[in-house]
Structure 1
């Protein structure tokens, strides 16, 4: 977990490789569907282009469907989910139905200016339609309001591992692995 631009996707991919498990990125699933102009993608694009989040009902369905696949039996990494209290409740119910525990929650953090600069660079490199300055500001505001409070939920459950998201990518990964293996 963490605000947009903190490196969740980068670290999730590195951790997936390290542990030999898949990453489940709601953003990647939506971008795949947008690129391929599927019904889901076109519906999601209506929200994403305005800097809004895709509605919970749609997001919850794709996450549960993905968590039910065979390749996640030995573990998985969620990237970008849950992002609000409603999704925490939905995830808890999914995991109970699937008989899959949640072992840890990694929270990456970085200064607001660092996040803005990273996303500006990402927009230039990747040409993502959802990385306009206005959309970025709106997503960071939504994160602070809706997602950041979830960290307390996971902290109370003893699952939270807080990691500084600034520095060399490999050093950040090493800190995450160390926290997960502790």
Structure 2
């Protein structure tokens, strides 16, 4: 299973990916986690990423694509993967398709978690208070949601045109949302069989 979990910041992609990882036995590849590891290591990329992320901005496409391609080429991703937090714009979606074709790992499905902005802000405030992540600061979240609406939301149409998009209600109990995702995955794999 090669899957992209798609949705606004705070829509539950990371939480659901961690749950699906166990069921499918494939890695959860979170661009946010990859970037936070670079920041923690205080690498040059990490320093640049930190300043951009703290300001609510996104990293340049070529940097993110290189990180993603390297990670997807690792042996544990050969049977499949759950990609979380990428692609974030149409150029990234197109570039990702090229990378996946080159490495022989085309996407099976893109699951978009649909969550209202008010619920997202509430979720991120809770996470900010619990974890202190600067990108979950309420003002930063509002800026990230604005960037998402402008740059990332059109990616859903990109995948819809390719017959890869499944939209899932991301509001509710974790088990309910996971169940909806699994039903969408089952439907997608049945349709492609």
Q: C-alpha separation between the residues in 2 aligned to 1:133 and 1:167? A: 21
Gaps of 5+ in 1: none
Q: C-alpha separation between the residues in 2 aligned to 1:134 and 1:52? A: 12
Query: What is the total number of aligned residue pairs between the two structures?
Result: 182
Post-superposition shift, 1:95? Answer: 0.7
**Would the aligned equivalents of 2:111 and 2:167 in 1 still touch at CA under 8 Å?**
yes
Q: C-alpha separation between the residues in 2 aligned to 1:47 and 1:115? A: 21
Over the aligned positions, Cα root-mean-square deviation in angstroms equals: 0.8
Kindly provide the CA deviation profile for residues 81-113 of structure 1, in whole angstroms up to 9, marking residues without a partner as x.
Answer: 000011011101101110111000000011111
User: Could you tell me which of 174, 179, 183 is aligned with 1:178?
Assistant: 183
Kindly provide the CA deviation profile for residues 41-71 of structure 1, in whole angstroms up to 9, marking residues without a partner as x.
Answer: 1110110010101111111110000011111
Q: C-alpha separation between the residues in 2 aligned to 1:171 and 1:130? A: 27
Q: Which residue of structure 2 aligns with residue 158 of structure 1?
A: 163
What is the TM-score of this pair, normalised by structure 2?
A: 0.92
Q: C-alpha separation between the residues in 1 aligned to 2:7 and 2:144? A: 11
Q: C-alpha separation between the residues in 2 aligned to 1:123 and 1:18? A: 28
User: Could you tell me which of 131, 141, 144 is aligned with 1:139?
Assistant: 144
Gaps of 5+ in 2: 1-5, 188-193
User: Could you tell me which of 89, 103, 112 is aligned with 1:107?
Assistant: 112
What is the TM-score of this pair, normalised by structure 1?
A: 0.98
Kindly provide the CA deviation profile for residues 103-147 of structure 1, in whole angstroms up to 9, marking residues without a partner as x.
Answer: 000000111110100000010011001122221111000111111
Post-superposition shift, 1:174? Answer: 0.9
**Would the aligned equivalents of 2:9 and 2:120 in 1 still touch at CA under 8 Å?**
yes
User: Could you tell me which of 44, 49, 53 is aligned with 1:48?
Assistant: 53
Q: C-alpha separation between the residues in 2 aligned to 1:38 and 1:173? A: 35
